[in-house]
Amino acid sequence: QVFSLTQINKIDDEGVTFRSHIDGSQRRLTPESSMAIQQALGADIIMAFDQCPPPTDRETVEKAVERTHAWAARCREAHPDDSQQALFGIVQGGIFPDLREQSAQFIQSLDFKGYAIGGLAVGETKAEQYATLDQTLPIMRADRPRYLMGVGDPDDLCQAITRGIDLFDCVIPTRLARHGAAFTFDGRVNMKNAKFKEDERPLILDADFQSYSQNFSRAYLRHLMIAKELLAYYLLSLNNIAFLITHVQNMRQAIIEGRLAQYTESFLQRYLGQR
Protein backbone atom coordinates (compact mmCIF):
# COMPACT_ATOMS: atom_id res chain seq x y z
CA GLN A 1 0.00 0.00 0.00
CA VAL A 2 3.01 2.30 0.24
CA PHE A 3 2.94 2.37 -3.57
CA SER A 4 -0.72 3.46 -3.63
CA LEU A 5 -0.01 6.27 -1.15
CA THR A 6 2.82 7.87 -3.12
CA GLN A 7 1.11 11.28 -3.20
CA ILE A 8 0.75 11.52 0.57
CA ASN A 9 3.78 9.75 1.96
CA LYS A 10 7.43 10.32 2.79
CA ILE A 11 9.88 7.43 2.62
CA ASP A 12 13.18 7.26 4.49
CA ASP A 13 15.51 4.44 5.50
CA GLU A 14 13.63 3.82 8.74
CA GLY A 15 10.14 3.53 7.25
CA VAL A 16 7.24 5.48 5.78
CA THR A 17 5.33 8.47 7.12
CA PHE A 18 1.93 9.10 5.56
CA ARG A 19 -1.33 10.87 6.20
CA SER A 20 -4.53 8.93 6.71
CA HIS A 21 -6.89 9.26 3.75
CA ILE A 22 -9.74 9.17 6.30
CA ASP A 23 -8.92 11.96 8.75
CA GLY A 24 -5.58 13.35 7.59
CA SER A 25 -3.76 12.23 10.74
CA GLN A 26 -0.07 11.40 10.41
CA ARG A 27 0.89 7.73 10.61
CA ARG A 28 4.26 6.00 10.76
CA LEU A 29 4.97 2.51 9.43
CA THR A 30 8.27 0.68 9.85
CA PRO A 31 9.34 -2.90 9.10
CA GLU A 32 8.86 -3.75 12.77
CA SER A 33 5.42 -2.16 13.10
CA SER A 34 4.36 -3.78 9.82
CA MET A 35 5.30 -7.18 11.27
CA ALA A 36 3.45 -6.45 14.51
CA ILE A 37 0.27 -5.46 12.67
CA GLN A 38 0.33 -8.51 10.41
CA GLN A 39 1.06 -10.81 13.33
CA ALA A 40 -1.88 -9.34 15.24
CA LEU A 41 -4.14 -9.87 12.24
CA GLY A 42 -3.24 -13.55 12.30
CA ALA A 43 -2.83 -13.89 8.54
CA ASP A 44 -1.51 -17.24 7.27
CA ILE A 45 0.91 -15.47 4.92
CA ILE A 46 2.48 -12.13 5.78
CA MET A 47 4.78 -9.97 3.71
CA ALA A 48 8.08 -8.28 4.40
CA PHE A 49 7.95 -4.48 4.22
CA ASP A 50 9.33 -3.26 0.89
CA GLN A 51 9.60 -0.25 -1.37
CA CYS A 52 7.90 -0.69 -4.74
CA PRO A 53 8.81 2.11 -7.16
CA PRO A 54 6.85 2.84 -10.35
CA PRO A 55 8.72 2.63 -13.68
CA THR A 56 11.56 5.10 -13.22
CA ASP A 57 15.29 5.64 -13.67
CA ARG A 58 17.88 3.10 -12.60
CA GLU A 59 19.26 5.17 -9.73
CA THR A 60 15.84 5.39 -8.06
CA VAL A 61 15.26 1.65 -8.50
CA GLU A 62 18.70 0.86 -7.06
CA LYS A 63 17.86 2.87 -3.94
CA ALA A 64 14.51 1.09 -3.61
CA VAL A 65 16.22 -2.30 -3.89
CA GLU A 66 18.78 -1.34 -1.26
CA ARG A 67 16.03 -0.16 1.09
CA THR A 68 13.91 -3.25 0.40
CA HIS A 69 16.83 -5.48 1.35
CA ALA A 70 17.49 -3.62 4.59
CA TRP A 71 13.81 -3.72 5.52
CA ALA A 72 13.58 -7.43 4.64
CA ALA A 73 16.40 -8.22 7.06
CA ARG A 74 14.64 -6.24 9.80
CA CYS A 75 11.35 -8.03 9.12
CA ARG A 76 13.12 -11.38 9.28
CA GLU A 77 14.63 -10.41 12.62
CA ALA A 78 11.25 -9.28 13.97
CA HIS A 79 9.45 -12.48 12.98
CA PRO A 80 9.85 -15.56 15.23
CA ASP A 81 11.28 -18.63 13.50
CA ASP A 82 8.69 -20.86 15.16
CA SER A 83 5.72 -18.74 14.03
CA GLN A 84 2.85 -20.51 12.26
CA GLN A 85 2.60 -17.49 9.97
CA ALA A 86 4.60 -17.82 6.74
CA LEU A 87 6.70 -14.71 6.13
CA PHE A 88 7.43 -14.05 2.45
CA GLY A 89 10.27 -11.89 1.15
CA ILE A 90 9.77 -9.62 -1.85
CA VAL A 91 12.11 -9.35 -4.84
CA GLN A 92 12.33 -5.88 -6.41
CA GLY A 93 14.48 -4.39 -9.16
CA GLY A 94 12.12 -2.88 -11.72
CA ILE A 95 12.80 -4.05 -15.27
CA PHE A 96 16.58 -4.13 -14.78
CA PRO A 97 17.78 -7.77 -15.06
CA ASP A 98 20.92 -7.34 -12.96
CA LEU A 99 19.00 -5.64 -10.15
CA ARG A 100 16.38 -8.41 -10.21
CA GLU A 101 19.13 -11.02 -9.97
CA GLN A 102 20.83 -9.15 -7.14
CA SER A 103 17.54 -8.81 -5.27
CA ALA A 104 16.51 -12.44 -5.79
CA GLN A 105 19.83 -13.68 -4.46
CA PHE A 106 19.77 -11.45 -1.38
CA ILE A 107 16.13 -12.07 -0.47
CA GLN A 108 16.60 -15.83 -0.81
CA SER A 109 19.65 -15.68 1.44
CA LEU A 110 17.31 -14.66 4.29
CA ASP A 111 15.50 -18.02 4.04
CA PHE A 112 11.87 -16.87 3.92
CA LYS A 113 9.00 -19.38 3.76
CA GLY A 114 8.09 -18.08 0.31
CA TYR A 115 9.16 -15.47 -2.22
CA ALA A 116 7.22 -12.76 -4.02
CA ILE A 117 8.04 -10.85 -7.18
CA GLY A 118 6.97 -7.26 -6.62
CA GLY A 119 7.18 -4.14 -8.72
CA LEU A 120 5.32 -5.48 -11.76
CA ALA A 121 1.93 -4.44 -13.16
CA VAL A 122 2.78 -0.89 -12.07
CA GLY A 123 2.99 0.72 -15.50
CA GLU A 124 5.45 -1.37 -17.49
CA THR A 125 4.39 -3.03 -20.76
CA LYS A 126 3.25 -6.65 -20.81
CA ALA A 127 6.35 -7.51 -22.84
CA GLU A 128 8.52 -6.00 -20.10
CA GLN A 129 6.53 -7.84 -17.44
CA TYR A 130 6.94 -11.21 -19.14
CA ALA A 131 10.63 -10.58 -19.87
CA THR A 132 11.23 -9.77 -16.20
CA LEU A 133 9.56 -13.04 -15.18
CA ASP A 134 11.71 -14.91 -17.69
CA GLN A 135 14.84 -13.34 -16.20
CA THR A 136 13.88 -13.69 -12.54
CA LEU A 137 12.12 -17.03 -12.08
CA PRO A 138 15.05 -19.26 -13.15
CA ILE A 139 17.12 -17.93 -10.24
CA MET A 140 14.35 -18.31 -7.66
CA ARG A 141 14.16 -21.58 -5.76
CA ALA A 142 11.30 -23.80 -6.89
CA ASP A 143 10.86 -25.61 -3.56
CA ARG A 144 9.19 -22.56 -2.00
CA PRO A 145 5.98 -20.82 -3.13
CA ARG A 146 6.57 -18.14 -5.75
CA TYR A 147 4.07 -15.30 -5.64
CA LEU A 148 3.46 -12.64 -8.29
CA MET A 149 2.05 -9.54 -6.63
CA GLY A 150 -0.71 -7.40 -8.08
CA VAL A 151 -1.31 -9.40 -11.27
CA GLY A 152 -4.77 -10.77 -12.10
CA ASP A 153 -5.67 -10.41 -15.78
CA PRO A 154 -6.69 -13.85 -17.10
CA ASP A 155 -4.12 -13.76 -19.91
CA ASP A 156 -1.39 -12.69 -17.47
CA LEU A 157 -2.27 -15.65 -15.23
CA CYS A 158 -1.64 -17.95 -18.20
CA GLN A 159 1.72 -16.36 -18.89
CA ALA A 160 2.80 -16.43 -15.25
CA ILE A 161 1.63 -19.94 -14.36
CA THR A 162 3.32 -21.45 -17.41
CA ARG A 163 6.53 -19.80 -16.19
CA GLY A 164 6.23 -21.30 -12.70
CA ILE A 165 4.31 -18.78 -10.57
CA ASP A 166 2.19 -20.35 -7.80
CA LEU A 167 0.30 -17.48 -6.13
CA PHE A 168 -1.35 -14.21 -7.14
CA ASP A 169 -3.35 -11.36 -5.65
CA CYS A 170 -5.18 -8.58 -7.44
CA VAL A 171 -8.13 -6.22 -7.02
CA ILE A 172 -9.00 -6.43 -10.71
CA PRO A 173 -12.16 -8.60 -10.48
CA THR A 174 -13.94 -6.15 -8.18
CA ARG A 175 -12.38 -3.02 -9.66
CA LEU A 176 -13.60 -3.97 -13.12
CA ALA A 177 -17.03 -4.83 -11.72
CA ARG A 178 -17.35 -1.32 -10.29
CA HIS A 179 -16.91 0.02 -13.83
CA GLY A 180 -19.32 -2.45 -15.44
CA ALA A 181 -16.74 -4.81 -16.95
CA ALA A 182 -17.10 -8.57 -16.80
CA PHE A 183 -14.81 -11.48 -17.60
CA THR A 184 -16.08 -14.09 -20.07
CA PHE A 185 -14.22 -16.85 -21.88
CA ASP A 186 -14.65 -14.80 -25.06
CA GLY A 187 -12.95 -11.78 -23.53
CA ARG A 188 -13.81 -8.86 -21.29
CA VAL A 189 -17.18 -7.21 -21.96
CA ASN A 190 -18.69 -3.85 -21.00
CA MET A 191 -22.12 -4.52 -19.50
CA LYS A 192 -23.21 -0.93 -20.19
CA ASN A 193 -23.11 -1.67 -23.91
CA ALA A 194 -26.46 -1.22 -25.65
CA LYS A 195 -26.08 -4.55 -27.46
CA PHE A 196 -27.01 -6.29 -24.20
CA LYS A 197 -30.28 -4.37 -23.80
CA GLU A 198 -32.46 -7.28 -24.96
CA ASP A 199 -30.02 -10.16 -24.48
CA GLU A 200 -31.75 -12.73 -22.29
CA ARG A 201 -28.80 -15.13 -22.16
CA PRO A 202 -26.65 -15.57 -19.04
CA LEU A 203 -23.40 -13.64 -18.94
CA ILE A 204 -21.21 -16.71 -19.53
CA LEU A 205 -22.51 -19.28 -22.00
CA ASP A 206 -20.33 -22.23 -20.97
CA ALA A 207 -22.73 -24.72 -19.41
CA ASP A 208 -20.39 -25.88 -16.65
CA PHE A 209 -19.59 -22.37 -15.33
CA GLN A 210 -21.07 -21.85 -11.88
CA SER A 211 -21.79 -18.48 -10.28
CA TYR A 212 -24.87 -16.94 -8.67
CA SER A 213 -24.63 -14.23 -11.33
CA GLN A 214 -25.61 -16.85 -13.93
CA ASN A 215 -29.20 -16.65 -12.63
CA PHE A 216 -29.61 -13.24 -14.26
CA SER A 217 -29.72 -12.25 -17.93
CA ARG A 218 -27.29 -9.94 -19.64
CA ALA A 219 -30.18 -7.54 -20.22
CA TYR A 220 -30.99 -7.42 -16.51
CA LEU A 221 -27.33 -6.95 -15.57
CA ARG A 222 -27.11 -4.08 -18.04
CA HIS A 223 -30.28 -2.54 -16.58
CA LEU A 224 -28.76 -2.69 -13.09
CA MET A 225 -25.56 -1.02 -14.31
CA ILE A 226 -27.42 1.77 -16.13
CA ALA A 227 -29.60 2.32 -13.04
CA LYS A 228 -26.47 2.31 -10.86
CA GLU A 229 -27.98 -0.32 -8.58
CA LEU A 230 -25.52 -1.71 -6.04
CA LEU A 231 -26.67 -5.21 -6.97
CA ALA A 232 -24.94 -4.75 -10.33
CA TYR A 233 -21.51 -4.37 -8.74
CA TYR A 234 -22.19 -7.33 -6.45
CA LEU A 235 -23.24 -9.66 -9.28
CA LEU A 236 -20.41 -8.64 -11.61
CA SER A 237 -17.93 -9.08 -8.76
CA LEU A 238 -19.26 -12.60 -8.18
CA ASN A 239 -18.93 -13.35 -11.88
CA ASN A 240 -15.38 -12.04 -12.15
CA ILE A 241 -14.14 -13.82 -9.03
CA ALA A 242 -15.81 -17.09 -10.07
CA PHE A 243 -14.28 -16.72 -13.53
CA LEU A 244 -10.75 -16.38 -12.17
CA ILE A 245 -11.25 -19.31 -9.77
CA THR A 246 -12.55 -21.47 -12.62
CA HIS A 247 -9.70 -20.39 -14.88
CA VAL A 248 -7.04 -21.28 -12.32
CA GLN A 249 -8.77 -24.58 -11.47
CA ASN A 250 -8.72 -25.44 -15.17
CA MET A 251 -5.01 -24.63 -15.36
CA ARG A 252 -4.31 -26.74 -12.28
CA GLN A 253 -6.11 -29.71 -13.83
CA ALA A 254 -4.24 -29.17 -17.10
CA ILE A 255 -0.94 -29.30 -15.20
CA ILE A 256 -1.97 -32.58 -13.54
CA GLU A 257 -2.91 -34.06 -16.92
CA GLY A 258 0.20 -32.78 -18.69
CA ARG A 259 -1.65 -30.53 -21.15
CA LEU A 260 -0.93 -27.05 -19.82
CA ALA A 261 0.48 -25.76 -23.11
CA GLN A 262 -2.60 -26.90 -25.02
CA TYR A 263 -4.96 -25.37 -22.47
CA THR A 264 -3.25 -21.98 -22.40
CA GLU A 265 -3.06 -21.79 -26.19
CA SER A 266 -6.75 -22.62 -26.53
CA PHE A 267 -7.76 -20.23 -23.74
CA LEU A 268 -5.72 -17.31 -25.06
CA GLN A 269 -6.95 -17.75 -28.64
CA ARG A 270 -10.54 -17.55 -27.44
CA TYR A 271 -10.11 -14.92 -24.71
CA LEU A 272 -8.00 -12.56 -26.81
CA GLY A 273 -10.05 -13.11 -29.96
CA GLN A 274 -7.23 -14.66 -32.02
CA ARG A 275 -5.01 -11.59 -31.51
Per residue in 93-118, pLDDT tens? 999 999 999 999 999 999 999 999 99
Bridge-partner residues for 46, per DSSP?
Answer: 87
Per residue in 208-218, pLDDT tens? 999 999 999 99
DSSP element (H, E) containing 261: helix 260-271
Give the pLDDT mean for 15-34. 90
- The pLDDT mean for the chain works out to 94
pTM summary value:
0.91
Per residue in 133-146, pLDDT tens? 999 999 999 999 99
| Length of the chain in terms of residues written | 275
Give the separation between CA 270 and CA 46, rounded to whole angstroms. 36
Give the separation between CA 8 and CA 60, rounded to whole angstroms. 18
C-beta neighbour count of 48 within 10 angstroms: 28
Give the pLDDT mean for 219-229. 98
Give φ, ψ of 41 to 5 degrees.
Answer: -70, -25
Give the separation between CA 36 and CA 13, rounded to whole angstroms. 19
Using the predicted structure, report yes or no on whether residue 272 has a pLDDT greater than 80.
Answer: yes
- The full set of domains in the chain, from first to last, is 3-170 (3.20.20.105), 174-271 (no CATH)
